[in-house]
Amino acid sequence: MIARGLMVASASIILALGVLHLVYTFWVPKLTPRDSALQVGMSRSSPLITSETTVWRCWVGFNASHSIGLILFGVIYGFLAIAHGPLLFHSPFLLIVGLGMLGALLAIARVYLFSVPFACIGISLVCYVASIAASRAQA
């Protein structure tokens, strides 16, 4: 029971970050540049890979897809912990994939983001690892 609770906590943190990030991407101007001229420049410029879009549209798309990835992780691992705990905790593949995802998110947050997502992902990772340890102790 403790293992499932810790896994749900880990997944819930990531899910909450994903939902908040999606809201910030589309409905609250938290991810727009403080310098409005930068957004205008991004809206007028295309990346080298294609002229079919703008840097600004790519920015919004990358933020949206990042949000969806976080939401997907939170939903899947939360669901598995609640509805299919034995499958999750007895699957080295699922546990390693989840650990890899959280580790990668933590590294990205450390290098490219700021303290709040870094701390939240760090707490999620601690809960994740503790859930695995608790599941092993119960076995």
Report pLDDT digits (tens) over 71-108.
999 999 999 999 999 999 999 999 999 999 999 999 99
Total domains present in the chain: 1
Question: Are 89 and 95 a contacting pair, CB within 8 Å?
Answer: yes
pTM of the model: 0.94
State the first-to-last Cα distance of the chain, in angstroms, to the nearest integer: 12
Rounded mean pLDDT, 107-136: 97
Angle at 44 between CA 108 and CA 41, to 5 degrees: 60
- Confidence bin at 44 (pLDDT 50/70/90): very high
Q: Which residue has the tokens 């994740």?
A: 128
Residue 1: exposure state from Cβ atoms within 10 A (0-12, 13-18, ≥19): exposed
Domain that holds residue 59: 2-138
d(CA 74, CA 17): 9
Looking at residue 97, its pLDDT comes to 98
| Structure tokens that stand for 53 in this block | 């879009």
Alpha helices in the chain (DSSP H): 2-26, 36-44, 55-83, 85-89, 92-112, 115-138
The alpha carbon of 83 is separated from its chain's Cα centroid by a whole number of angstroms, namely: 21
